[in-house]
Structure 1
Amino acid sequence: MVTPGILLVDKPGGLTSHDVVARTRRAFGTRKVGHAGTLDPMATGLLVIGVEGATRLLTYIVGADKTYEGTIRLGAVTTTDDAEGDIVHTAAPAALAAVDDGAIDVGIAALTGVLSQVPSAVSAIKVDGRRAYDRVRAGEEVQLAPREVVVSRFDVVARRRRPDAIDLDVIVDCSSGTYIRSLARDLGAALGVGGHLTALRRTRVGPFAVADAVPLDALDGAPLLTPGQAAGLVLPVFPVTSEEARDLRHGKRLVGRADRLEGPLAAALEADGELVGIVEKRGADVKSAMNMPEVSR
């Protein structure tokens, strides 16, 4: 029997998120594996993987804010807004030389806070049931609608200049759904020289850090966070007695106990740390929003 849990994997470059899921299925001997948000093949870093019943928790993790480290190259536009695409425009050396650090700082400040961001056309967003990148590869022109995102941190930690490019090493804290490729594209466009992303690494998803992740070649026997441990990191904890746990599992409300909830959702944990499920307020009562499969004792 496969133990349910949350696995943190440090994805290498050159593989898709689906490749990592497939490797995890083989390592753990189960088909029931999912992830809480993709990374492009070029990108490295943290993938949050759910195994067995813990896949139910991914719904509550996928919307968490994230941290990325990346390199933006000013001076060239590509078809994909990153280094995997073809270069379609390059800036003249004189135009690049005119872009000083102050202009870069102003451009970055304008891309910090609440933004209306147009995702890259070669994203995984579905358009009429098909991924946008599949439509682009088929030769279709794709125009994606802007979406509201939040960039709470956009710091430049290093700058490197040469006649044909300016490379910026950046750290970005952002809401789920933010495209760092789009930030590179939009910064280059605002500066009049074009821009794209040449490197990207995800270092954090909500409370989970890449420092705690295992490399892909160490999946066999890799430690899992229990559903209770993972849920307790993502949501406030709602301690329940064995009687309350039984009632929640049977679909009953806990009458008059909503005042014990810190927020709209919480992780209902028994004394031994087992996750009963995710609970929510319903008036003055508490009811299950999601129940976990019960563990045999």
Structure 2
Amino acid sequence: MSQQIKQPKPRTSLHGLLLVDKPSGMTSHDVVSRVRRLAGTKEVGHSGTLDPLASGLMVVLLGEATKLSSIVTEGDKAYEVQVQLGIETDTLDITGAVEKTTPVTVKKDEVVAKALALLGEMQLPIPLFSAKKIDGKKLYEYAREGEEVEIPSKSMTFWDVTYIENVEAEKENRYSFHLYCSKGSFIRSWVKLLGEQLGCGATMSGLRRTKSHDFTVNQSLGLEGLMAEKDAGTLDLSSTIVPLNEAVGGVRNIKVHGHDEVLLNNGQISHDLRSKLIVLFNPERDQWVFASSRDNKQVLAIIGLEPQVGFKIKRGFRY
């Protein structure tokens, strides 16, 4: 009896970034699962988790773009945050259990002034209900199991805080702001600090990511609309994804062809390509460069310069 040989599943032809506007109430994993169905592939990742409460921009990676995850996540982010004064919760957001309530006597002018001044680099505690790992275990797992754990702090940087007026919400002591932050910063920690400085405590009651890396939420697409196009048979993701050579702004792109391209596809840098890189690469401003096919414009590799080693392929792409 002959043994049937399993054929490998065909790889996706979609390689790039899909900018999705995540609705509140959905997990980042839910978004990835939906996109997998939309794209018909398991080759899907993302460049930064959003809490279920949060809405806004999620940069979803398709196909070979998943190899860019560590690069894309390095970018700064921006958020619109709503702050509820007078309430403190265990999760530092409105979904958590209320631990303390305080009468709010502080005036609007002081709230806005304190928020606009809450800038710069600071060491803040990481929220207990977060995915940060301590000794191989996520902080929220310690919290749910009631296990004691020392809350670590980390450096977070915030800038360009602006006030967003919302008269009706402010009647209930909810204030909105837009701000920028460095990679890995927790907006909930910023909200907690603001509440402490105002003396009445605060929790995050809303959050929307407006920018991630080089992309804004205005460039993103709603999941419901994408699913409707899928059901109608009119979905064309290839026309909506950001190609690899546009996925990372400010990175130089060198065109290769012929023998240089063949060697690059085999994980090697030819002598001629090294000579071109020496001329093109500026160690003071370039962390890496893209090498793309001159014929079909596909990105073939990311090349970096390592001290005492020279030029080295950091990532190779196969289509």
Q: Same fold per TM (> 0.5)?
A: yes
Alignment of 1:41 with 2:52, yes or no, is yes
Matched-pair contact (CA < 8 Å) for 1:159–1:166 = no
Corresponding letter in the other structure for 1:77: E
2: distance between equivalents of 1:230 and 1:163?
39
For the pair shown, the structure with the greater C-alpha radius of gyration is 2
Matched-pair contact (CA < 8 Å) for 1:258–1:285 = no
Go from structure 1 to structure 2 and tell me whether the alpha carbon gap of 1:117 and 1:244 turns closer, same or farther (over 3 Å shift): farther
Matched-pair contact (CA < 8 Å) for 1:116–1:147 = yes
Deviations 1:156-213 (A, max 9, x none): 2226588985222100111111111111111101221000111100011111111111
Q: What TM-score do the two structures reach when normalised by structure 2?
A: 0.83
1: distance between equivalents of 2:178 and 2:88?
21
Percent identity for Structure 1 against Structure 2: 30
Over aligned residue pairs, what C-alpha RMSD do you find? 2.3
Matched-pair contact (CA < 8 Å) for 2:78–2:212 = yes
Greater shift, 15-24 or 270-279, is seen at: 270-279
Go from structure 1 to structure 2 and tell me whether the alpha carbon gap of 1:163 and 1:225 turns closer, same or farther (over 3 Å shift): closer
1:106-255 equivalences under 5 Å are 106=114, 108-109=116-117, 111-158=118-165, 160=167, 165-217=172-224, 218-219=226-227, 220=230, 221=235, 222=237, 223-231=240-248, 233=249, 235-242=250-257, 243-253=259-269, 254-255=273-274
Q: Secondary structure at the match of 1:85?
A: coil
Q: Secondary structure at the match of 1:23?
A: helix
Stretches of structure 2 lacking an aligned partner (at least 5 in a row):
1-10
Corresponding letter in the other structure for 1:150: T
Corresponding letter in the other structure for 1:178: S
Alignment of 1:290 with 2:310, yes or no, is no
What is the CA-CA distance between 1:112 and the residue it aligns to?
Answer: 0.7
Go from structure 1 to structure 2 and tell me whether the alpha carbon gap of 1:34 and 1:89 turns closer, same or farther (over 3 Å shift): same
Alignment of 1:87 with 2:98, yes or no, is yes
Matched-pair contact (CA < 8 Å) for 2:114–2:194 = no
Query: What is the total number of aligned residue pairs between the two structures?
Result: 288
2: distance between equivalents of 1:240 and 1:18?
36
What is the CA-CA distance between 1:260 and the residue it aligns to?
Answer: 0.7
Matched-pair contact (CA < 8 Å) for 1:116–1:148 = yes
1:275 to 299, 302, 306: 299
Greater shift, 14-23 or 136-145, is seen at: 136-145
Match of 2:74 in 1: 63
Corresponding letter in the other structure for 2:134: V
1:260 to 280, 284, 304: 280
2: distance between equivalents of 1:49 and 1:39?
12
What is the CA-CA distance between 1:228 and the residue it aligns to?
Answer: 2.2
Q: What TM-score do the two structures reach when normalised by structure 1?
A: 0.89
Matched-pair contact (CA < 8 Å) for 1:229–1:273 = no
2:109 to 74, 79, 101: 101
What is the CA-CA distance between 1:106 and the residue it aligns to?
Answer: 3.5
Matched-pair contact (CA < 8 Å) for 1:107–1:187 = yes
Matched-pair contact (CA < 8 Å) for 2:47–2:59 = yes
2: distance between equivalents of 1:132 and 1:49?
25
Corresponding letter in the other structure for 1:279: I
2: distance between equivalents of 1:56 and 1:14?
28
Greater shift, 197-206 or 217-226, is seen at: 217-226
Match of 2:5 in 1: none
Go from structure 1 to structure 2 and tell me whether the alpha carbon gap of 1:258 and 1:116 turns closer, same or farther (over 3 Å shift): farther
